[in-house]
Amino acid sequence: MRIWTVILFATALTACVEVQQAVDNTARQGAKGVVTETLATRFPQVPKQLITPFTDCIIDNSTALEIREYVRAAAVGVDDTTTATIKGVLARPETVQCLQAASLRNGIL
């Protein structure tokens, strides 16, 4: 009987993880528009051809709380908090490496 309880619990936990991942992926997709808009309007030093790759780097290196900020901005508009959040993500070493790789792929560096 215990083995069935463990199997049932493991199955339920797996389903929860899958649902959480689906929600996270949906939120990240929705957040891309806000990050793209912010890069285009508040970061004029980013070349136009790099806005999409930079957006991907930012989204990939953002935490769940940062993604929540982008989703909030999608509903109420981009503000200084959104810009500060993006600046914080841009400063991370992992994001910098991603940005450098994207620049190289696009022939910028």
In this prediction the pTM is 0.77
The answer to whether the beta carbons of residues 43 and 91 sit under 8 Å apart is no
Per-residue pLDDT of the chain (109 residues; tens, 9 = 90+): 556 564 555 555 566 656 567 656 666 777 899 999 999 999 999 999 999 999 999 999 999 899 999 999 999 999 999 999 999 999 999 999 999 999 998 887 6
Task: Print the SS3 string covering 23-63.
Answer: HHHHHHHHHHHHHHHHHHHHCCCCCHHHHHHHHHHHHHCCC
Residue 73 CA to residue 80 CA, distance in Å, equals 10
| Contact criterion met (CB below 8 Å) for 80 and 57 | no
Structure tokens at 19: 């649902």
